[in-house]
A and B are shown apart, each in its own frame.
Chain A
Amino acid sequence: MKIKNENKIYGGVNKMLEGKKVAILGDRDGVPGPAIKECIESAGAEVVFTTTECFV
């Protein structure tokens, strides 16, 4: 039996990001946009916008 827990289906394969378009709002003092972009692309999603905000 599969148990759905938010976006993860245990016992099955559910890729939430695969094939999605992703907009990235990074943070200079947190995780910057380009670092998030590398991660998201490795998950099979297409990055359509990346920025790195600065709250100073």
Chain B
Amino acid sequence: MDLENQQRVKDLAEKHGKDNLVVILGGAEAEASGLACETVTNGDPTFAGPLAGVQLGLACYHILEPQIKDEVDDEVYDEQVSMMEMVLDVDDIVEEVSTYRGKYSEFS
């Protein structure tokens, strides 16, 4: 997760409250999605960015996870996401993101 986006998420969490902010990922790979989830929950694991050592504990989901899919309008989801859903490794992505969320998220 690039440094600029880390700063944006940090600022948004301060502005809106950690319990009121949800991060939704669209990553193509499980590993990168897991790292992004770890960054916004437990802090930047590379200790390079503004979230190094900052445990925001935010609720963080991937758009492909069933909890999110269930809340989105079916027609909109079909139009915007279903094609990538067929191409990406949904099981790996869901497992990786939910693992980090389960470990570090305080608000999900």
Contacts and interface: CB of A to CB of B under 8 A. Distances in A.
B80 A39 contact: yes
Interface residues of B, number: 37
Contacts of B63: 31, 36, 39
Contacts, number: 115
Nearest to B76: A42
Interface residues of A, number: 35
A50 to B, nearest CB: 9
B84 A39 contact: no
A7 B20 CA distance: 15
27 contacts: A7-B67, A8-B67, A17-B68, A22-B24, A23-B9, A23-B23, A23-B24, A24-B23, A25-B23, A25-B26, A27-B25, A27-B28, A27-B32, A30-B33, A31-B84, A36-B26, A39-B72, A39-B80, A39-B81, A42-B77, A43-B73, A48-B16, A48-B21, A49-B8, A49-B12, A53-B1, A53-B27
